[in-house]
A and B are shown apart, each in its own frame.
Chain A
Amino acid sequence: MRAAQLFFGDCGVKRLGRILIWVTVPLLGAGALEKIALDRGESLNAIWFVIAAVCCYLVAYRLYSAFLAAKLLALDDTRATPSERRDDGRDFVPTNKWVLFGHHFAAIAGPGPLVGPTLAAQFGYLPGTLWLIAGAAFAGCVQDFIILFCSIRRDGKSIGQMAREEVSKRGGFIAQLAVLAIMVILLGVVALVVVNALKSSPWATFTLAMTIPIALLVGVYLRFVRPGRVLEASLMGVALILFVVFAGQWVADSPSWARVFTLGGVPLAFAIIVYAFAASALPVWLLLAPRDYLSAFIKAGAIFALAAGILFVRPHVLMPPLTRFIDGSGPVFAGKIFPFCFITIACGAISGFHSLISSGTTPKMILRESHARFIGYGAMLLESFVGVMAMVAACAMTPGVYFAINSPPSIVGATPDAAAATISGWGFPLTAQTMSGLAHAVGEQTLWNRAGGAPSLAVGMAQIFSNTIGGERLLSIWYHFAIMFEALFILTVLDAGTRVGRFMVQELGGRMWKPFGRTGWMPSILVSSAIIVGMWGYFLYQGVVDPLGGINSLWPLFGISNQLLAAVALVVATTILLKMGRMRWIWVTLLPMAWLVIITMTASYQKIFDANPRIGFLAYANALIAQIAAGKIPAAKLMDTQRLIFNQRLDAAVTAVLALMVIVLIVEALVQWYGILSSRRAPVLHESPYVQTQWAAGYSGVAQGDD
């Protein structure tokens, strides 16, 4: 070191160090990717996934995001951000970039990057992992970063408002409708994941039920005892939640209590619907906000623990790189690797929903334009890493167990022996005893056909955690901790989403009848909450009673709608870039947009029209009609079958309407683009005017006297 210092001088050593790092990182990343992609014959250590992902993220951040910041967006730190110009201590609050990164990440990280990769693991570990990394670097992070930038330049306007101003009025209306429709589907699907995780599990149901009184307690403490002291109240709540996770085993062991908390799919679905209605209609400080605080702390802790566990245990990945199910015959969900791998992964690679956050609170709190790179691009990289960890956790368990947990009985067989024989026949050896032993070890009655991703991820996480602390003895505690963690923050998405959906319904209703638009008027609150809960509740119910396992129909529907919203966001971003005169770099948003349109339109077409009843909604409806006509359906099941037919047609109609809305928006945008490119229309940007910052160059959001 001393010799190098003498030879190169102080600056030279730093430069040399940087050169060495930036030569090593890409080489290491390429080596790890090669290991993942080409390694055959021996089981692969999960540490290669971590190295490949982290190195790719570092290179993408260092090069691609720097290019976007400097060339495409030309971020300008001399320009005052909305938080400086409109600082009100409430919405517009200048915030340190690390703190805002934490806020933004807590907002974008939901159940999607955990569940999606777990389900996509049925294709093998390779396609999902590659898409998680590449999709985030070239599509997801780009979308989040550019939409955040656009919103900062427009005083924190939402994606709907930007679509209205920059694309067209109709475009804005379509974007708003699309957001509402997508939210309804999203809430129905994530609720289904919770139901499948809690079904017939008294321990998990008790734990999650107890989070409600704990949240009420925290809410009352924060409102009346020590207003706004979130940290102490949340830590108290987290300690209580950890206690009820532990106490759940006593409930499961007590025959009388276990009976109370052992619920089937339909009663659980109704319980969740009633809960979400209450959380939406009750004052926000009482239930919704304190749950959100608890969820944020547990989410941060569990994600950190999963990363630490994977690094500590370094499990071997047992799933093959590619499975036979790339041909579309997968038991977890049907459909070929293209387009369904991309549709299923969804949030871990690119999520349209992030555009709502990037054009929501974050742009109002950002301190400097240059922070948008770290917060917009960087937080999405971290989300993608969560997806890679979920993939590792799912692929580190025996593949036979993975398929046993995630496959519906209509595919693998109703009895454990039949199901084990089917799965072994696919080349993934499994015995019924293995499954009953595992269920016993994690404290569950059964682990067969628990589709939805949450239970299999919980088994994977529990195995990693128990290898770190506690061994086999604590497997059941870790499993229920993982289930609680997933269910808790899915419920947070549910109640927060229901409340936001309620406001959207009130806004739309208020256009027709003014009093309905008053957000504080109790009849309007109750009716609008009932409408939004009724809409997603219907999708939840249809998923619970679906004999093919609702995940097979609903997760792709969710993926399609989420990716369609991402396409909407990229259409808006492309239009703005064109107006800014960035024609040379337009491929940055145009290519991911085109890719999303291709995969969503292909998936939509297949989900509606494919001849395979497991893929095509209409084909499934027609198959059921044929069964009725042939007299194969007993009279007692006729009503259920009729409803199933209606549900399939409804799903087909919803998919078609969503796809049509996006096509209309794209046509609107194409007209705009043609006008701009042919110079028939002067490009009018709706940016806020430039105001020079008054802050010193080194200001980092720390108030005077704080240091």
Chain B
Amino acid sequence: MRGAAKNIRRFARHFWRGVREWCGDAAYERYLRSSPSQGDGGRRLSAQEFYVQQLNRRYSQPNRCC
């Protein structure tokens, strides 16, 4: 019984993290974990700057289909 509860909690945690990654909530955290990019002069972008840059890049190539 305790094992089942643990499994459910584990699944719920994974599911929640998956949803956050899918919708883009976790994108900035991901960015902070990656190695600093050369393009930003070595400095980290703020959450706001990252969000806008991310959108500009994503919507300049086909990302929605028929």
Contact of A109 with B65 in the complex, beta carbons under 8 Å: yes
Contact of A285 with B52 in the complex, beta carbons under 8 Å: yes
Taking the complex as formed, is A284 at the interface, i.e. its CB lies under 8 A from any CB of chain B? yes
Give chain A interface residues in 484-512, CB to chain B under 8 Å: 492-493, 496-497, 499-500, 503
- When distances are taken between beta carbons in the complex, the residues of chain A under 8 Å from B56 are 284
Chain A's closest residue to B31 (CB) is A89
Contact of A110 with B65 in the complex, beta carbons under 8 Å: yes
Contact string, B12-31, partner A, CB cutoff 8 A, digits 1/0?
01000111111111011011
- When distances are taken between beta carbons in the complex, the residues of chain B under 8 Å from A496 are 59, 62-64
- With A89-B34, A289-B55: A228-B64 Cβ-Cβ less than 8 Å: no
Contact of A102 with B18 in the complex, beta carbons under 8 Å: yes
- When distances are taken between beta carbons in the complex, the residues of chain B under 8 Å from A89 are 30-35, 37
- Interface extent on B, as a size class? 35 or more
Other-chain residue from B32, B46, B50, B66 in contact with A351 (beta carbon distance below 8 A): B66
Contact of A357 with B25 in the complex, beta carbons under 8 Å: no
For the complex formed, measure the closest distance between the CB of A123 and the CB atoms of chain B, giving whole angstroms: 21
- When distances are taken between beta carbons in the complex, the residues of chain B under 8 Å from A285 are 51-52, 55
Contact of B37 with A88 in the complex, beta carbons under 8 Å: yes
Taking the complex as formed, is A368 at the interface, i.e. its CB lies under 8 A from any CB of chain B? no
- In the complex the two chains form, what is the Cα distance from A106 to B24 in whole Å? 13
> Contacting chain B: which of A90-98, A458-466, A635-643, A691-699?
A90-98
Other-chain residue from A106, A186, A360, A361 in contact with B66 (beta carbon distance below 8 A): A186
> Contacting chain B: which of A72-80, A229-237, A301-309?
A229-237
Taking the complex as formed, is A293 at the interface, i.e. its CB lies under 8 A from any CB of chain B? yes
- When distances are taken between beta carbons in the complex, the residues of chain B under 8 Å from A360 are 61-63
Contact of B34 with A87 in the complex, beta carbons under 8 Å: yes
Give chain A interface residues in 212-269, CB to chain B under 8 Å: 222-224, 227-231, 234
- In the complex the two chains form, what is the Cα distance from A357 to B54 in whole Å? 17
- In the complex the two chains form, what is the Cα distance from A519 to B66 in whole Å? 25
Chain B's closest residue to A190 (CB) is B66
Contact of A112 with B66 in the complex, beta carbons under 8 Å: yes
Contact of A110 with B61 in the complex, beta carbons under 8 Å: no
Taking the complex as formed, is A111 at the interface, i.e. its CB lies under 8 A from any CB of chain B? yes
Contact of A108 with B32 in the complex, beta carbons under 8 Å: no
Contact of A503 with B20 in the complex, beta carbons under 8 Å: no
Other-chain residue from B48, B53, B66 in contact with A493 (beta carbon distance below 8 A): B66
Taking the complex as formed, is A589 at the interface, i.e. its CB lies under 8 A from any CB of chain B? no
- When distances are taken between beta carbons in the complex, the residues of chain A under 8 Å from B23 are 230-231, 234, 293, 296-297
- When distances are taken between beta carbons in the complex, the residues of chain B under 8 Å from A110 are 64-66
Chain A's closest residue to B38 (CB) is A88
Chain A's closest residue to B13 (CB) is A707
Contact of B37 with A107 in the complex, beta carbons under 8 Å: no
- With A102-B18, A223-B48: A357-B62 Cβ-Cβ less than 8 Å: yes
Taking the complex as formed, is B2 at the interface, i.e. its CB lies under 8 A from any CB of chain A? no
Contact of B52 with A223 in the complex, beta carbons under 8 Å: yes
Contact string, A265-301, partner B, CB cutoff 8 A, digits 1/0?
0000000000000000001110011001100110000
- When distances are taken between beta carbons in the complex, the residues of chain B under 8 Å from A186 are 66
- When distances are taken between beta carbons in the complex, the residues of chain A under 8 Å from B50 are 227-228
Most chain B Cβ neighbours within 10 Å, of A99, A103, A158, A497:
A99
Taking the complex as formed, is B6 at the interface, i.e. its CB lies under 8 A from any CB of chain A? no
Taking the complex as formed, is A206 at the interface, i.e. its CB lies under 8 A from any CB of chain B? no
For the complex formed, measure the closest distance between the CB of B55 and the CB atoms of chain A, giving whole angstroms: 5
For the complex formed, measure the closest distance between the CB of B42 and the CB atoms of chain A, giving whole angstroms: 13
Chain A's closest residue to B19 (CB) is A231
Contact of B65 with A353 in the complex, beta carbons under 8 Å: yes
Taking the complex as formed, is A347 at the interface, i.e. its CB lies under 8 A from any CB of chain B? yes
- When distances are taken between beta carbons in the complex, the residues of chain B under 8 Å from A346 are 66
Contact of A103 with B51 in the complex, beta carbons under 8 Å: no
- In the complex the two chains form, what is the Cα distance from A296 to B34 in whole Å? 27
Taking the complex as formed, is A703 at the interface, i.e. its CB lies under 8 A from any CB of chain B? yes
- When distances are taken between beta carbons in the complex, the residues of chain B under 8 Å from A224 are 48
Taking the complex as formed, is B58 at the interface, i.e. its CB lies under 8 A from any CB of chain A? yes
Taking the complex as formed, is A706 at the interface, i.e. its CB lies under 8 A from any CB of chain B? yes
Contact of A357 with B33 in the complex, beta carbons under 8 Å: no
Contact of A703 with B55 in the complex, beta carbons under 8 Å: no
- With A99-B22, A289-B55, A500-B61: A353-B33 Cβ-Cβ less than 8 Å: no
Taking the complex as formed, is B47 at the interface, i.e. its CB lies under 8 A from any CB of chain A? yes
Taking the complex as formed, is A447 at the interface, i.e. its CB lies under 8 A from any CB of chain B? no
For the complex formed, measure the closest distance between the CB of B61 and the CB atoms of chain A, giving whole angstroms: 5
Contact of B61 with A227 in the complex, beta carbons under 8 Å: no
Taking the complex as formed, is B43 at the interface, i.e. its CB lies under 8 A from any CB of chain A? no
- When distances are taken between beta carbons in the complex, the residues of chain A under 8 Å from B25 are 228-231
- When distances are taken between beta carbons in the complex, the residues of chain A under 8 Å from B24 are 228, 230, 293
- With A227-B51, A231-B19: A90-B64 Cβ-Cβ less than 8 Å: no
Taking the complex as formed, is A450 at the interface, i.e. its CB lies under 8 A from any CB of chain B? no
For the complex formed, measure the closest distance between the CB of A106 and the CB atoms of chain B, giving whole angstroms: 8
Taking the complex as formed, is A574 at the interface, i.e. its CB lies under 8 A from any CB of chain B? no
- In the complex the two chains form, what is the Cα distance from A93 to B22 in whole Å? 12
Contact of B17 with A292 in the complex, beta carbons under 8 Å: no
Contact of B59 with A284 in the complex, beta carbons under 8 Å: yes
- In the complex the two chains form, what is the Cα distance from A497 to B21 in whole Å? 24
- In the complex the two chains form, what is the Cα distance from A89 to B56 in whole Å? 15
Chain B's closest residue to A493 (CB) is B64
- With A88-B37, A95-B21, A230-B23: A361-B63 Cβ-Cβ less than 8 Å: yes
For the complex formed, measure the closest distance between the CB of B3 and the CB atoms of chain A, giving whole angstroms: 17
Q: B-contacting residues of A (Cβ < 8 Å)? A: 87-91, 93, 95-96, 98-99, 102-103, 106-112, 158, 186, 190, 222-224, 227-231, 234, 283-285, 288-289, 292-293, 296-297, 346-347, 351, 353-354, 356-357, 360-361, 492-493, 496-497, 499-500, 503, 519, 558, 562, 702-703, 706-707
Q: A-contacting residues of B (Cβ < 8 Å)? A: 13, 17-25, 27-28, 30-35, 37, 46-48, 50-66
A-B contact pairs, 28 of them (CB 8 A): A87-B34, A87-B35, A88-B34, A88-B35, A88-B37, A89-B32, A89-B35, A99-B18, A110-B64, A111-B66, A112-B65, A224-B48, A228-B47, A230-B23, A289-B55, A289-B58, A289-B59, A296-B23, A347-B66, A351-B66, A357-B63, A361-B63, A497-B64, A499-B60, A500-B59, A500-B60, A519-B60, A703-B33
Given contacts A89-B37, A228-B47, A230-B24, 11 further A-B contacts (CB under 8 A): A90-B54, A95-B21, A190-B66, A223-B51, A231-B25, A284-B55, A351-B65, A356-B65, A497-B64, A503-B60, A703-B33
The list of the 4 closest CB pairs from A to B, nearest first, reads A89-B34, A89-B31, A356-B62, A496-B64
